[in-house]
Amino acid sequence: MTISILGARVIDPNSGLDQVTDLHLDGGRIVAIGAAPAGFSASRTIQADGLVAAPGLVDLGVSLREPGYSRKGNIASETRAAVAGGVTSLCCPPQTKPVLDTSAVAELILDRAREAANSKVYPVGALTKGLEGEQLAELVALRDTGCVAFGNGLKEIPNNRTLARALEYAATFDLTVVFHSQDRDLAQGGLAHEGAMASFLGLPGIPESAETVALARNLLLVEQSGVRAHFSQITSARGARLIAQAQALGLPVTADVALYQLILTDESLREFSSLYHVQPPLRTAADRDGLREAVKSGVIQAISSHHQPHERDAKLAPFGATEPGISSVELLLPLAMTLVQDGLLDLPTLLARLSSGPAAALRLPAGELKVGGAADLVLFDPQASTVAGEQWFSRGENCPFIGHCLPGAVRYTLVDGHICHEA
């Protein structure tokens, strides 16, 4: 299918392009930016006056819930939700059932993603078998199947020697390891950030040091091994400073933050709503401000949804008995636009943190608009608004933003030149 997109403000953070121009697509590729090539005839023309055309968003944390947790979601439903949020490429974590520690599970996920024909899916494989922290998974075989990185989620590898050997092995094959830094002992039994709000509500706390102690250990082992490391779901200002110090030393370290951590704080827990029960927990306003500054400066180069859909019953019990997580991938763009609306980021910087930044962190073939490149892009209206929940594709409705009026509205999402979402 040949498509011409006319009169859009084209923003490509990777090249610095920001101008009103045209895009021409053919065979799933961008064949021209500006004037159409000779002999080009569009089978569809999109008049994009007033719209922004940007690289399709890249989300490094989307739980697809398949295989094993179909009551919460599946690959078809959650990738459909992703394109509604402007996401054309996403990474799914290894916490499936069975765990994503074999080529067979990776192949199943990739086959189902191809059948769904929505967002492109890049699996993150398990670093250890069964995520048990003892024996290494078959990392090279998983890489050859299509896994782009490896991690153990919040299931910490308790033995430092085991972790050190795992990182050295990964470094030998130039594999990227994803860390979720939270000390198991310091976080054990905790439900909220350890501070005034947790004390007021009588909830067991998780101290900031649960992140920083684990983060310091992991960074030292990264320095020793030389492995490429990505630190996911940074939650504290001090954690962001540790990442900045490691980058200043020249370590191959990148980081992302959950979008909701840039918007919410532990004050949101005041009404005991389980919709705000997340792990790692929401922290203080000072932490939120520190994370925002780290995103602005580029220390944290990726903003992700860390989408975790749940069935309705998973959030109906008392706060401490509910399952943690927020379903929000289909709000990624409009929710992120609140950062522009509030003057915290300019639009090109925001788009960089949502596209080229995450793509570079995990070396994904995504996040840019260039002639000859894949026609993965999002067209959105920055002046319109989105009423969250008015249209909902994810199976998980566990989202505290439902009912909110958010700035910006995704009009088209294209993956390989195919229109996957139109509104």
- Please enumerate in sequence order all residues whose Cβ is within 8 A of that of 60, keeping only pairs 6 or more positions apart, or say none: 90, 91, 230, 232, 256, 302, 304, 358, 361, 362
Q: Which domains does the chain possess?
A: 2-52+375-383+408-422 (2.30.40.10), 56-373 (3.20.20.140)
Tokens of 108: 């199943």
Length of the chain: 423
Rg (CA), the chain: 21
In this prediction, residue 365 carries a pLDDT of: 98
pTM for this one?
0.97
Nearest to 150 by CA among 160, 279, 169, 82: 169
Q: Which amino acid is at 334?
A: P
State the pLDDT confidence band at 215, using cuts at 50, 70 and 90.
very high
Across 349-363, average pLDDT = 98
In this prediction, residue 219 carries a pLDDT of: 98
68-116 pLDDT, tens digit each: 999 999 999 999 999 999 999 999 999 999 999 999 999 999 999 999 9
- Please enumerate in sequence order all residues whose Cβ is within 8 A of that of 111, keeping only pairs 6 or more positions apart, or say none: none
In this prediction, residue 389 carries a pLDDT of: 96
Phi-psi region of 363 (alpha: psi -120 to 50; beta: other; left: phi over 0): left
DSSP 7-75: EEEEEETTTTEEEEEEEEEETTEEEEESSPPTT---SEEEE-TT-EEEEPEEES-B---TTT-TTT--H
Pairing of strands 228-231, 176-179: parallel
Percent of the chain with pLDDT over 90: 99
In this prediction, residue 312 carries a pLDDT of: 96
5 φ, ψ (degrees, to nearest 5): -110, 115
Q: Which amino acid is at 140?
A: V
CA 81 to chain centre: 13
Whether residue 282 contacts residue 298, with contact meaning beta carbons closer than 8 Å, is answered with no
253-294 pLDDT, tens digit each: 999 999 999 999 999 999 999 999 999 999 999 999 999 999
In this prediction, residue 147 carries a pLDDT of: 98
In this prediction, residue 359 carries a pLDDT of: 98
266 φ, ψ (degrees, to nearest 5): -65, -10
Computed over every residue of the chain, the mean pLDDT equals: 97
Sheet of 176-179: strands edge to edge?
A: 57-59, 87-92, 120-126, 149-151, 176-179, 228-231, 253-258, 302-304
- Please enumerate in sequence order all residues whose Cβ is within 8 A of that of 161, keeping only pairs 6 or more positions apart, or say none: none
168-214 pLDDT, tens digit each: 999 999 999 999 999 999 999 999 999 999 999 999 999 999 999 99
Q: How far is 149 from 132, CA to CA, in rounded Å?
A: 17
Q: Is the peptide bond before 252 cis (omega within 30 degrees of 0)?
A: no
Place of tokens 């782009």: 148
Q: How far is 369 from 355, CA to CA, in rounded Å?
A: 10
Q: How far is 173 from 176, CA to CA, in rounded Å?
A: 9
CA 129 to chain centre: 24
In this prediction, residue 68 carries a pLDDT of: 97
Pairing of strands 149-151, 120-126: parallel
Inter-axis angle of helices 347-354 and 332-341, to 10 degrees?
Answer: 150
Q: How far is 333 from 309, CA to CA, in rounded Å?
A: 18
Whether residue 377 contacts residue 53, with contact meaning beta carbons closer than 8 Å, is answered with yes
Tokens of 78: 């959650």
In this prediction, residue 188 carries a pLDDT of: 96
